[in-house]
Chains A and B, each alone.
Chain A
Amino acid sequence: MKTYDLVVIGGGSAGLAAAISAYDNGVTDILILERDKELGGILNQCIHNGFGLHTFKEELSGPSYAERFITMIHDRGIQFKLNAMVTHLSDEKVVEYVTPAEGYVRIQAKAVILAMGCRERTRGAIAVPGYRPAGIWSAGTAQRYLNMEGYMVGRKVFILGSGDIGLIMARRMSLEGAQVMGVAEIMPYSNGLPRNIKQCLEDFDIPLFLSHTISRIEGKQRVNQVTIQQVDDKMKPIAGTEKVFDVDTVLFSVGLIPENALSEEAEVKLHRRTKGPIVDESYQTNVDGIFACGNVLHVHDLVDWVSQEGTKAGKAASRYLKKELVEGGSTIDLDAGIGVGYIVPHKVNPDNIGATVECMFRVTRTYKNVFVKVYKDGEVIKTVKKRAMAPAEMENIVLKKEDLAGCKKNILIQVSEEQ
């Protein structure tokens, strides 16, 4: 069985950054396995701009952003395989993959970085009543048809969910000549980035119906109508609030789910809330030598943060391979308190961090003028004022090594109305 020091599963934004970072930290025996016909992952269908403001200080399209990383892969001579689907991963880091070029292949990795990304939640998963005809897609699938295959999927469109892909597709379909009749969002606030609400809906006069859901889809062969309804605080449709739209297409942008079927095969433990692996400060999972980063770990809203996480995971994997990571020792749990949905990483071994550790988290609802408080063993050690926070925007807080010193139980982060 052929062996590699590092196998990166997924050649999207997380996997590319991880491979480059591992290489730059001294690991050269790397293999990236990518299931699509080119590197870049979902970036290849994101032809709109707005990528890379943080990483490159300029606004790039998805493919251009990917190209920068792909060039770095080529420059370093990092090996990759395309049309390569990983069919099995074991906790011993045996990777089974299949490609038309080689057939079925089994390789042994010394370390593995999981970077498989996420999938879209579907209409079926949220059980929207009505018929099941042609004309119903998740927004990302419609985006692939339009931007990669070159086909228009609809002329009159309604969109459920104000996630970013849905908003981007509202603009994309409008530019292509379709009429977007509206976007319904079941929550009382949008789940997309504020800039996308402005640029994709307001600039195109597309109405956003907050606290609304699609309660029915009509059409036996192709969609011909949707009904939306306002929902109460238990998310139940309110009778008498029905609005009907004649449309031929419904797009769903109702959430993303990390793709962890392979991780589960390798006995990687997943977090109840993120649906991604539970990782430590080095992005290492419970399985020795298996790391995770990007949307397979938790769903991000900006690709820049995905690349950044990939870079950190790649560096950590290189330290693991060089046996620089301290095993065991005392780890400190990072726990989500009131108002916080989750924190990544989920735990920290202070011996393995530099001067600081960055904690990414999401809040559970919108907040205005509140304080994020960090508790060490129940004592407040840090308070940060926040003018506004929303679940759609990832927050971060940086802890210093000395913040963690002497911690016996846990670090808790929570939102408080009072200073």
Chain B
Amino acid sequence: MYDFLVIGAGISGALIARDLSKYQCSVAILEKDNDVANGVTSGNSAMIHSGHDPKDGTMKLKMNLRGNEMWEDLCKELKVDFWRNGAMVVAVSEEELPALHKLHKQAIDRKVPCRLLNHDEALAMEPNLSDHVVEAMDLPTTGLVSPWESCIAAIEDAMNNGVELFLGNKVEKIVKHADHYEVHTTKGVYQSRFVINAAGLYADKIYGMVSDCTDWKINPRKGEYFILDKQNPTIVTRTIYPLPSEKGKGVLVIPTVHHNVLLGPNSEPIDDPEANDNTYDALEYVRREVGKCVKNIPMGDNIRTYAGLRPTGSTNDFIIEEAKDAERFINVACIESPGLASAPAISEYVLNEIISKKFDLVKKTEPRIERRPWIIMNRMDMDAKQELVNGDTKFAQMICRCEHISEGEIVDIIHRNCGATTVKGVKRRVRPGAGRCQGGFCEPKVVAILARELKVSPLDVLLDGDDSHLLLERTKG
């Protein structure tokens, strides 16, 4: 019997599990996929919004403002990247000015640091802004993280401190008992006093397993993006927002913590919560729209496209509450944008405002085990690199030629809590395959390393999901 079962190993569930690991209680995470951070967390804009945008009176606003304050320290604790790169909302015509000024007033009312800039001031700060920019609003507290790296690190950190992770456990049925829940998955049965439903796109289905309520549901939306090759400096330093319209925040130009640049997203409703495909029309839309605010975009440096799915709720707000007819069953649902920015605040709220009213949260007395950061050699100086090589020559065997990633770095992230078991898992932790060759040169080497370290045949190495085998058989020889 666990005290807490978290369903879903995305950023929301990960941070809640990690925060619970600071207290005297037993915690387990159930995840349907074979790796964490695999759903909504792996397909979004990676932004820590300032809080200027959500509607007044919403949980989105409350959580976003608090989350923005929390992320930088959280990243320090997790030892992952955080970049407070700032953002600009730009008006590209006189007609857009009233909307910009309204947003500016809203930001001031919320005490979000902001400043209106005229054309020259804006261009001086971001020389690649469109020449049509009339005015812009500077939002210096906006930041960037790597969503999946943060999520993976949080779960690793939680596991270092006692949390259990069960992958490949798709929840099929939940039985409500007087003082606990029995959660049936594709792999087993788990019992817990509390259940935290952080199941992303499937949160309404999980909720439906314990409740007859239909007070909210999820209507997924898809957003598509281009990823440009690393740039130094990036074409824009700040994230550039067009003015939001009824279709969402519009097409953004977003640097990343790795100095790539994201272009997107569009926003389209979809029926299938697994339909993360790219479509011709959406990519054309992004291509067309993106030049509205920024000029000189090197579209020829595009290295990949992707699509992210958002668990948009029917109430248009986050659902963060104990279920109305299921005690100790806590919904953390409909966490669409600004969900990533809000995630640490959501976890804080769940512990302080919901759990603490029903469970005595007592801090652990033993010291916390700190997470050892990933080894990133291309950010080290020669001496530090040589010291690693002196310990293990695998750090001198280069696997990825685009980003200079060594075999040692890859082996390290396989043998950790929440370690990589798939080619995509390796890519999301230390990036071989994320560069301009997209794995063309390193993938065969990564497959061989995974097979050797996991003691399986290369034929059993997966790209991603359980049926995503890469190699089919040996050649005739």
Which positions in A face B, CB cutoff 8 Å?
35, 83, 85, 87, 96, 98-104, 106, 119-120, 122-125, 127, 129-135, 137-138, 140-141, 144-146, 148-155, 176-177, 215-216, 220-222, 237, 248, 259, 261
CB proximity to A under 8 Å, residues B296-310: 302-306
CB distance from B447 to the nearest CB of A (A): 8
Q: Are A141 and B444 in contact (CB under 8 A)?
A: yes
Residues of A within 8 A of B436 (CB): 119
Taking a contact as CB atoms under 8 Å apart, the answer to whether A221 and B404 are in contact is no
Taking a contact as CB atoms closer than 8 A, the residue among A106, A124, A150 that contacts B475 in the complex is A150
A104–B398 alpha-carbon span in the complex (Å): 11
Q: List 8 A-B contacts (CB under 8 A).
A: A85-B398, A96-B382, A98-B385, A106-B382, A122-B303, A122-B304, A137-B443, A141-B444
CB distance from B95 to the nearest CB of A (A): 31
B386, chain A: closest CB distance, angstroms: 5
Tell me if B302 and A127 are in contact (CB < 8 A). yes
How many angstroms between the C-alpha atoms of A87 and B227 in the bound complex?
24
What is the bound-complex CA distance between A130 and B278, given in angstroms? 5
Contact of B472 among A129, A141, A154, A237 (CB under 8 A): A154
Is B356 in the interface zone, CB < 8 Å from A? Answer: no
The distance in angstroms between the C-alpha atoms of A100 and B405, with both chains bound, is 14
A134–B433 Cα gap in the complex (Å)?
Answer: 13
Question: Is the pair A127, B305 in contact by a Cβ cutoff of 8 Å?
Answer: yes
B437 interface contact, C-beta 8 A: yes
* Residues of A close to B474: CB separation below 8 A: 150-152
Partner pick for B280 among A35, A122, A237, CB 8 A cutoff: A237
Q: Which residues of A contact B397 (CB under 8 A)?
A: 83, 100
Q: Cβ of B78: which chain A residues have Cβ within 8 Å of it?
A: none
Contact of B277 among A99, A129, A146, A177 (CB under 8 A): A129
Interface of chain B residues 408 through 444 with chain A (CB within 8 A): 436-441, 443-444
CB atoms of B472 and A153 under 8 A apart:
yes
- A104 pairs with B472, CB closer than 8 A: no
State the 4 A-B residue pairs at the shortest beta-carbon distance, nearest first.
A124-B304, A85-B398, A221-B467, A134-B463
Q: Report yes or no: B467 in contact with A98, Cβ–Cβ below 8 A.
A: no
The CA-CA distance from A104 to B397 in the complex, in Å, is 11
Evaluate whether A100 and B440 lie within 8 angstroms (CB atoms) in the complex, with A87-B404, A134-B464, A146-B475 already known: no
Q: Are A122 and B475 in contact (CB under 8 A)?
A: no
Question: Bound complex: CA of A113 vs CA of B197, how far in Å?
Answer: 59
In-complex Cβ contact of A144 among B227, B385, B444, B464 (8 A): B444
Docked complex Cα distance between A365 and B252 (Å):
37
Residues of B within 8 A of A145 (CB): 444, 471
On whether the beta carbons of A35 and B398 are closer than 8 Å, the reply is: yes
Whether B440 contacts A215 by the Cβ 8 Å rule is: no
Residue numbers in A under 8 Å from B462 (CB-CB): 134
**In whole angstroms, what is the CA distance A132 to B280 when docked?**
14
Per the 8 Å Cβ criterion, residues 245-288 of B in contact with A are 274, 276-280, 283
Q: Which residues of B contact A152 (CB under 8 A)?
A: 471-475
Task: Tell me whether B468 and A133 are in contact (CB under 8 A).
Answer: yes
Which residues of B have CB within 8 Å of A104?
Answer: 382, 385-386, 389, 396
Complex contact A35–B439 (CB within 8 A) = no
Contact for B448 among A100, A119, A149, A176, CB less than 8 A: A149
The answer to whether B464 and A221 have CB atoms under 8 Å apart is: yes
Contact partner of A141 (CB less than 8 A), chosen from B302, B304, B439, B473, is B439
B398 contacts A151, CB within 8 Å?
Answer: no
In the complex, residue of chain A having the shortest beta-carbon distance to the beta carbon of B404: A87
Q: What is the 8 Å Cβ interface bit string for chain B, positions 378-395, against chain A (1 contact, 0 not)?
A: 000010011001100110
Bound state CA distance, A235 and B39, in angstroms?
A: 34
- With a CB–CB cut-off of 8 A, which chain A residues contact B438? 122-125, 138
Q: Bound state CA distance, A35 and B444, in angstroms?
A: 15
Contact flag A129-B468 (CB < 8 Å), given A124-B304, A134-B462, A140-B440:
no
Closest residue of A by beta carbon distance from B306: A132
1/0 per position for B128-151, CB-CB distance to A under 8 A?
A: 000000000000000000000000
Q: Is the CB of B280 within 8 A of A134?
A: no
Distance in angstroms between the alpha carbons of A222 and B470 in the assembled complex = 8
Residues A222 and B469 in contact, CB atoms below 8 Å apart: yes
Which residues does chain B contribute within 8 Å of A134, judged by CB atoms? 462-464, 468-470
Query: Any chain A CB within 8 A of the CB of B476?
Result: yes
Interchain nearest-CB distance for A22 vs B (Å): 25
C-alpha gap A155/B279 in the complex (Å)? 26
* Residues on B with beta carbons closer than 8 Å to the beta carbon of A177: 476
B283, A103: Cβ atoms closer than 8 Å? no
Given contacts A216-B280, A221-B464, 12 further A-B contacts (CB under 8 A): A83-B398, A85-B401, A104-B389, A106-B382, A119-B436, A122-B438, A127-B302, A130-B278, A134-B469, A137-B440, A137-B443, A220-B274
Give the CA-CA distance A237 to B303 in the complex, in Å. 21
A131 contacts which of B276, B402, B472 (Cβ < 8 Å)?
Answer: B276
- Is B459's beta carbon under 8 Å from chain A? yes
CA distance A127 to B227 in the complex (A): 10
- In whole Å, how far is B286's beta carbon from the nearest beta carbon of chain A? 10
